[in-house]
Amino acid sequence: MLAMKLMALRIAPTGGKDLEDIVNLLQIVDLENKAKIVEFAARFYPEARISGKLRLALDDLWNNYQARIVSPPDEPPEYLGRSRRPPQR
């Protein structure tokens, strides 16, 4: 689902549901750096070109993802029964 959202990339300047979905899905797959975002999308769409829109949005996507890690919501995102729960201390 993340690869599909990245390839479609419908992010409004004010954020919106697609940005929230992408950030939630990034949190679930736990990518280490922003270059991994493009690699992730390319694994599922090897014959497709990565859009200029995605390349231009990488910094914004990564910054939103990093902000989510620093200040996570009360409940972690969950898609298709999968969740990235923080470790119990």
d(CA 10, CA 19): 8
Q: Is the pLDDT of residue 73 over 70?
A: no
What is the C-alpha separation between 23 and 74, in angstroms, rounded? 15
Please give the mean pLDDT across all residues of the chain: 78
Q: Domain ranges in the chain?
A: 2-10+20-73
Could you give the 3-state DSSP secondary structure of residue 79? strand
Q: What digits encode the pLDDT tens for the residues 2-37? A: 999 888 887 665 566 788 888 888 888 888 888 898
Radius of gyration of the chain (CA): 13
